[in-house]
Structure 1
Amino acid sequence: MVSWIKEVFDTEKPIIAMCHLQALPGDPDYDATGGMDKVIVSAKNDVIALQEGGVDGIMFSNEYSLPYLTKVETVTVAAMARVIGELRSFVKIPYGVNCLWDPIASLDLAAAVDAQFIREIISGVYASDFGLWNTDPGKTARHRLRIGAKNVKMFYNIVPEAAKYLADRDISEIAKTTEFNNKPDAICVSGLTAGSETDTQVLKVVKDAVRKTPIFCNTGCNKDNIERQLSVADGAICATTFKVDGIFENPVDYKRVKEFMDIVKEFRN
């Protein structure tokens, strides 16, 4: 069922760490004085700390591009491509990208920087903090083929942060129809916001609902709950727990990464 995970990450139940890029040109919080050099240095420091701490993969995202767009501007994709291009020589593990919240832009970026996966809101329609949030999974699937990115794995987030499915549907029903209609490479289950713990029971419901799709815990994993989450999930995507003092806005803390990954490796053994 999850053979592609072992092929990509060289382990079962991988931990994918987020590399949160500082605000980029065009973003409200962009530091024009520090410029792109500041963004690159910050990202490089985080990548080194994450890799030395032992994570299995990295995902670059424009996490500080708040408030997010559902159709990302060209300048954002260009800026992310520059950062990743300058850091590629430092990245020794599998990596993916996430242009919040635009799956087409994410695929375009993945194709440009040879990323192996994306994570996005690819299906469904939502009432969200960012307005009415619609998707077009058929267009996204065809776009992946059209740009030669058929080998880029697509992680479908079916519980988007700061949003709710517009129709009143049970999460198990959403998981089943997402798998049947879209054939996702993986399904992500999240908490309410970045850093919010994902309900293990919801993970279990989704895991039981699908037949062959890997399930990833998408938010809120920490050293105290990761064994419980991985007892259900096929992997996890982590960010806030790796930051200094566990605070979202802070840089990555190597010691926190190492402590977390030591627990994960012991669990996997």
Structure 2
Amino acid sequence: MVHAAAFPGAPCYGGSIQKIISKACKETEIYLNNQVDGILVENMHDIPYIQSKHFGPETTAIMTRICTEIGKIVPENVPCGIQILTGGNREALAVAKACNFNFIRSEGFVFSHIGDEGLINADAGLILRYRKNIDAEDILIFTDIKKKHSSHSITSDISLIETAKAAEYFLSDGIILTGTSTGSPADMQELNDLKNNSGLPIIIGSGVTCNNVKDYLDAEAFIIGSHFKNNGFWKNDVSHERVKSFMNVLKEIRH
């Protein structure tokens, strides 16, 4: 995860677009120097988040600028993706198309839920049609199900498996399983249930560390943010040592 600093207009914006870009590129270089398998860029510091219907043009513009610069330093064989909080799935597709990125992380793909930002409605039909309209069908859409930082009481009668099957039926390219919050480990039983009942690739979207990575080897991929930061805290800078240690553990497992 490359957690971009707060964008213009967000309460935590620091006053310099160039600093946002430079920091994102520096973190990308740390990851590349440690041979990570992919890069995912996110406007994590735009707290408090707003729903995509309230975005100004600057959100898409700044993300495009950041991803353009990151694209210049990432080798072609390293896949890159985008998530724009909150629920900026069409915006993310547009940026990915403009920057030749490979995938997006989508919130609210199937079934509504209540997030910190309010009601998030399902948009699979809208974003898949948008992807078709802009000739971006080579861009994969990986979708959160029963996502973290959210209440799912309005869909409490719909199981995780049923949600995953709905995502598959609605043409998701892969499902993302998380814990309840940022840095919180995903439930291993839920991973096992998904492996046995879903035909989609499964990505673990939170809580993977050096200590527990062996527990999640049945997943196809991991999205790692907090564990790679100094002291394991999402607001801190990426730590070269923590990334290196994790990749060394992963290399040992792979061999």
Tell whether 2:144 aligns with 1:157: yes
SS state of the match for residue 155, structure 2? coil
Q: 1:70: Cα distance to partner?
A: 2.2
Q: Does 1:99 align with 2:88?
A: no
- Give the drift of 1:27: 0.9
- Determine if the alignment matches structure 1 residue 175 to structure 2 residue 164: yes
2:126 to 139, 145, 148: 139
Which position in structure 1 is the counterpart of 2:44? 63
Q: What amino acid is the match of 2:43?
A: N
Deviation at 1:224, TM superposition (A): 0.3
- Cα displacement (A) at 1:87: 2.7
1:17-69 CA-partner distances (Å, limit 9, x unpaired): x100000011111012xx11111121111011111112100011101111222
Give me the TM-score of the superposition, normalised by structure 1. 0.88
| Partner of residue 5, structure 1 | none
- State the AA in 1 paired with 2:85: L
Partner of 2:248: 262
Percent identical residues: 31
Would the alpha carbon gap of residues 144 and 215 (structure 1) be closer, same or farther in structure 2, given more than 3 Å must change?
same
Contact 1:159 1:188 in 2 (8 A): no
The question of whether the paired residues in 1 share the 8 Å contact of 2:228 and 2:239 is answered with: yes
Q: Deviations over 1:105-128 (max 9, x none)?
A: 111111111110000112220022
C-alpha contact (below 8 Å) 2:110/2:163 kept by paired residues: no
Kindly indicate whether the alpha-carbon contact (under 8 Å) linking 2:111 and 2:155 is maintained by their aligned counterparts in 1. Answer: no
CA distance in 2, matches of 1:79, 1:179: 32
Which residue of structure 2 aligns with residue 8 of structure 1? Answer: none
Q: 2:173 — aligned with what? A: 185
Per-residue CA deviations over 1:43-100 (Å, capped at 9, x if unaligned) read: 1110111111121000111011112222133211100111121232211222111111
Spell out, residue by residue over 1:110-159, the C-alpha distance to the aligned partner (whole angstroms, 9 max, x if none).
Answer: 11111100001122200221111112211111100101110001101002
TM-score normalised according to structure 2 size: 0.93
Query: Which one of the candidate residues 193, 202, 205 is aligned to 1:215?
Result: 202
State whether residues 110 and 166 of structure 2, in contact with CA within 8 Å, keep that contact through their aligned partners in structure 1: no
How many residues are aligned here? 247
State the structure with bigger RCO (CA 8 A, min sep 6), 1 or 2: 1
Residues in 2 aligned to 1:244 and 1:167: alpha-carbon distance in whole angstroms: 36
Q: Supply the distance in 2 between the matched residues of 1:145 and 1:76 (Cα, whole angstroms).
A: 22
Partner of 1:26: 9
Match of 2:184 among 179, 189, 196: 196
Separation (CA, whole Å) in 2 of partners of 1:150 and 1:30: 33
Confirm or deny that 1:205 pairs with 2:188: no
Equivalent residue letter for 2:184: S
Aligned-partner SS, 1:29: coil
Runs of 5+ in structure 2 lacking a partner?
none
